Amino acid sequence: MSQAVEGRANGLALRVEHGGLHRHVYARFHRTYCKCGREATHRKNIFGEIVGIWYKREERSGGAIVKICILASSSAGNSTFIATDRTRVLIDAGLSRREIAKRLAFIGEDIQALDAILVTHEHSDHTCGLAAMAKVREPQLPIYLTEGTAPFIDWGESAPVLERFQAGRCFPVGDFDVASFTIPHDAADPVGYTLAAQGVKIGIATDLGYVTDSLRVHLGGTDLLLLESNHDLEMLRVGPYPWSVKQRVMSRKGHLSNEVAADFIENDLDVRVSTLVLGHISEHNNHPELVRNMGLKALDGRALFTRLVVAEPGVQSEVFWY
């Protein structure tokens, strides 16, 4: 009997039928057709090499899908929404509670339906809305953060529910298997995250001075990756910042430049990444078009199916479905 599931994932038409998979890729090649065994299907590049694995939707428990929206990503504010149909989390709350509520409502989500907030580090562009967000519902929203980060956040009058963990630890949050990993940044105990649910893995890696080996390992197998592309080195050099700040940004505990992000894409980007979002773009020392050109050029040499998205400062992204 024919069993078909149709949907859209990452802008790609998807149809699962008879345990096989039909996939139409409208990116680099038109109408790529794959059909293979029960477990998963694969994608090939123009040389016939397998460059990605696509898992059948039936294997994602109950047919659930993962929804992602980058509410904001820049030096002026960061927050990313990631959800299954049962678990809704934010990574960082670097916008006001009101702005987060507004941006969630725009994608049909209720701020009171959130299940948790995961914090990367204490800098205000990631935490300025955190204390207010903790009180957004009763019982209070649990806040996951590293042992070293917790003392550096001003909670004001509130006594939030904190779930402290050691950087590098993995833990479950509802449907998600969360993995944290230390990132080199001038904060107390900063981490990046991957969240995996129903065969889909999302990676968040911003605010890092350089690409560590641990980062490369953790970001392996991600389907959607938010990667920092903070500044253009030349713009930073001639830009308005005082020299001490320029040095900080460029340091190994600062932010990732376009040049280093390009190097990562050329050499380390996992073949599985179907959406690469370049974000945390500096409003003073970078430009989205520079980032886009860099990203496209770097991807050009890879013959991947990866779609490039540039997170413009202050602008909420589209919704990504997996």
**313 prior amide bond cis, ω within 30:** no
Minimum distance from residue 96 beta carbon to Zn ion (Å): 16
Minimum distance from CB of 175 to Zn ion (Å)? 27
CA angle 275/281/286 to nearest 5° reads 120
DSSP type of residue 257: B
The type of residue at 261 is A
CB of 142 to Zn ion, least distance (A): 22
Q: How far is the CB of 179 from Zn ion (least distance, A)?
A: 20
Token pair in block for residue 271:
């073949």
Least distance (Å) from Zn ion to the CB of residue 256?
Answer: 11
Instruction: Could you list the beta-strand ranges (E) of the chain.
Output: 4-9, 12-17, 20-24, 40-44, 50-55, 67-74, 77-83, 88-91, 116-118, 143-146, 162-165, 170-173, 176-182, 191-197, 200-205, 224-228, 275-279, 307-310, 319-321
Our CB check for Zn ion shows the closer of 70 and 271 to be: 70
Q: Tokens at residue 322, please? A: 């997996």
DSSP class of 142: P
Which CB, 125 or 270, lies closer to Zn ion? 125
CA gap 51, 233 in Å, rounded:
32
| CB atoms closer than 10 angstroms to residue 220 | 15
Min dist CB 241 to Zn ion, Å, is 15
Residue 123 or 246: the one with the smaller Cβ distance to Zn ion is 123
Q: Which of 91, 6, 66, 12 is nearest to 198 (CA)?
A: 66
What three-state secondary structure class fits 8? strand
| Residue 100 Cβ vs Zn ion, minimum distance, rounded to whole Å | 16
Beta bridge partners of 145: 164
At closest approach, how far in Å is the CB of 193 from Zn ion?
A: 14
Nearer to Zn ion, 74 or 198 (CB): 74
- Sign of the CA dihedral 121, 122, 126, 131? positive
Q: Return the number of the residue (125 or 223) whose C-beta is nearest Zn ion.
A: 125
Q: Which is nearer to Zn ion, 21 or 205 (CB)?
A: 205
User: What's the DSSP call for residue 19?
Assistant: T
C-beta of 274 vs 316, nearer to Zn ion: 316
Contacts with Zn ion by CB under 5 A lie at 123, 125, 207
CB-based closest residue to Zn ion: 123
**Nearest to Zn ion of 264, 305 (CB atom):** 264
Q: Which lies closer to Zn ion via its Cβ, residue 75 or residue 274? A: 75
Q: Which residues pair with 9 in a beta bridge?
A: 12
Q: How far is the CB of 92 from Zn ion (least distance, A)?
A: 8
Cα 261 from chain centroid (whole Å): 15
